[in-house]
Structure 1
Amino acid sequence: MTAVEAMRLPEHVDLTGFISLLQRLQVPHRVAEETGEQVLWVPGEQLAEQVRELYGRYPQGDAGVVLEPSPAFAEAAPGFVQQLKASRMTAAVLLLTFIAAAITLLGDNLATVSWLSFVDYRVQGDYIYFSYLNDTLASGQWWRLLTPMLIHFGILHLAMNTLWYWELGRRIEASQGAVMLLGLTLLFSLAANFAQYLHAGPSLFGGLSGVLYGLLGHCWIFQRLAPTPAYRLPPGVLVMMLAWLLICMTGIFELLQFGAIANAAHVGGLLAGCLTGLLGGALARRRNS
Structure 2
Amino acid sequence: MSAVEAMRLPEQVDLSGFVALLQRLQVPHRVAEEAGEQVLWVPGEQLAEQVRELYARYPQGDALAQGQPALLAQQGPGVLQQLLGSRLTASVLILTLVIFALIGGGDNYAAIRWLSFVDFRLQGDYIYFSYLAETWNSGQWWRLLSPMLIHFGWLHLAMNCLWYWELGRRIEAYEGALMLLALSLLFGLAANFAQYWWVGPSLFGGLSGVLYGLLGHCWIYQRLAPNPAYRLPPGVLVMMLAWLLICMTGIFELLQFGAIANAAHVGGLLAGCLSGLLGGALARRGR
After the TM superposition, which of the residue ranges 223-232 and 56-65 deviates more from structure 2?
56-65
Structure 1 residues 113 and 93: CA distance shift in structure 2, 3 A? same
State the distance in 2 between where 1:8 and 1:161 align: 36
Residue 262 of structure 2 corresponds to: 263
| CA-based RMSD | 1.4
Q: Structure 2 length as normaliser, TM-score?
A: 0.96
Q: CA deviation at 1:64?
A: 4.3
Q: Structure 1 length as normaliser, TM-score?
A: 0.95
Retained in 2: the 8 A contact 1:15–1:229?
A: no
Code of the aligned partner of 2:249: T
Residue 89 of structure 1 corresponds to: 88
Q: Deviations over 1:146-196 (max 9, x none)?
A: 110000000000000001101100000000000000000000000000000
After the TM superposition, which of the residue ranges 201-210 and 40-49 deviates more from structure 2?
40-49
Residue 224 of structure 1 corresponds to: 223
1:200 paired to 2:199: yes
Structure 1 residues 36 and 91: CA distance shift in structure 2, 3 A? farther
State the identity %: 79
After the TM superposition, which of the residue ranges 216-225 and 20-29 deviates more from structure 2?
20-29
Q: CA deviation at 1:95?
A: 1.0
State the distance in 2 between where 1:127 and 1:78 align: 50
State the distance in 1 between where 2:129 and 2:99 align: 21
Q: CA deviation at 1:230?
A: 0.3
Identify unmatched segments of 5+ residues in structure 2.
none
Q: CA deviation at 1:31?
A: 2.3
Identify unmatched segments of 5+ residues in structure 1.
none
Residue 251 of structure 2 corresponds to: 252
Retained in 2: the 8 A contact 1:26–1:69?
A: no
Code of the aligned partner of 2:269: L
1:39 paired to 2:58: no
After the TM superposition, which of the residue ranges 77-86 and 23-32 deviates more from structure 2?
23-32
Retained in 2: the 8 A contact 1:161–1:212?
A: yes
State the distance in 1 between where 2:144 and 2:242 align: 28
Q: Deviations over 1:223-243 (max 9, x none)?
A: 000001000001110000000
Structure 1 residues 159 and 27: CA distance shift in structure 2, 3 A? same
Q: CA deviation at 1:61?
A: 2.3
Residue 277 of structure 2 corresponds to: 278
Code of the aligned partner of 2:70: P
What secondary structure, in the 3-state scheme, does the structure 2 residue paired with 1:106 have?
helix
Code of the aligned partner of 2:211: L
